Structures are given as structure tokens and as C-alpha cells.
Amino acid sequence: MSKRMTESQIVAMLKEAEAGIPIKELCRKHHVGNSTFYKWRAKYGGMELSDVKRLKE
């Protein structure tokens, strides 16, 4: 099973949420479930793209 979104796309989505876009609307736009969004926020929340790349190493 392949990943649908890359880490950079996830970080961009989380930044949209921080900017004030409703989570329900974001999830619908990106075709992900609310629970997936909250899992990603727990894992990647507050990170920049460079931090995510460092996490993979």
C-alpha cells in the first residue's frame, strides 16, 4: 500500500489548519479522515519541512 500524501504535503496541510481553515473543510479538500488529520498533527505538528526531513534520517 502506497502513501497518498508525502510528508511535505502533510506539513503544508497542517500549516493551512494553523492559518485558521476549519479542519473539517481541510479534510474534505484533501480527502483524508478527521482521525488521520489528528494523528498527523500529533506526529508532525509544529514541525517545519526541514525537521520532517531530519526525522526520516
Taking only the tens of pLDDT, the chain with its 57 residues reads 457 888 889 999 999 999 999 999 999 999 999 999 999 999 988 887 777 777 766
CA angle 38, 3, 56 (to 5 degrees): 80
- Does residue 12 sit within a domain? yes
Amino acid at 55: L
- Does residue 52 sit within a domain? no
pTM, rounded to two decimals: 0.79
What backbone torsions phi and psi does residue 6 show, to the nearest 5 degrees? Answer: -80, 170
CB 26 within 8 Å of CB 37: yes
Number of domains in the chain: 1
Contacts of 30 (CB under 8 A, 6+ apart): 5, 9, 13
What is the enclosing helix (H) or strand (E) of 14? helix 7-18
- Does residue 55 sit within a domain? no
Show the domain range for 41: 7-46
- Does residue 2 sit within a domain? no
